[in-house]
Homo-oligomer: A and B are copies of this chain.
Amino acid sequence: MRHLGAELAAIRRGEVVIRLPFRPELTQQHGFFHAGGTASIADSAGGYAGYTLFPEDSSVLTVEFKLNLINPARGEWLEAVGRVVKPGRTLTICQLDVWGVGEARVHVATGLQTLICMHGRPDQGAKD
């Protein structure tokens, strides 16, 4: 996330927002954010959202995620919202949404993610 220049914009129990400001090196040749950047912050927002509900001595891993890219990813920044749909002791399911924010606020991507809670392995840390 640091490498991309992304930052945590909001943390609530079961919901996390990550912001990625526009940077020329993250774009395709026509000025849109690359799908990889969009997927990265979506995955991280969901991972953190799940982690807010996990016990202290645990860590989080992404089992899988699926993302539909529904509009060009442009704007001054991208905003990824990860929200827990179904918490669980072992598996947690999150909804992922990414918005492009500039003059307008456009829905850029929507997805689903399955997380696994690794109990008793705090050392693996949260996703960064």
How large, as a class, is the contact surface on chain A?
A: 35 or more
A62 at the interface (CB under 8 A from B): yes
- A76 contacts chain B at the CB level, 8 A cutoff: no
Let me know if A103 is at the binding interface, CB within 8 A.
Answer: no
Question: 9 new A-B pairs (CB below 8 Å) besides A3-B26, A35-B127, A64-B112?
Answer: A29-B125, A34-B128, A35-B47, A36-B37, A36-B39, A63-B91, A63-B114, A68-B93, A70-B93
Tell me the number of copies of this protein: 4
Complex Cα spacing A54 to B102, Å: 30
Shortest Cβ gap from A102 to chain B (Å): 19
Complex Cα–Cα for A71 and B87 (A): 11
Write out, one digit per residue, whether chain A residues 39-75 have a CB within 8 A of any chain B CB (1) or not (0): 1110110010000000000000111111111110000
How far does the alpha carbon of A65 sit from the alpha carbon of B127 in the complex, in Å? 21
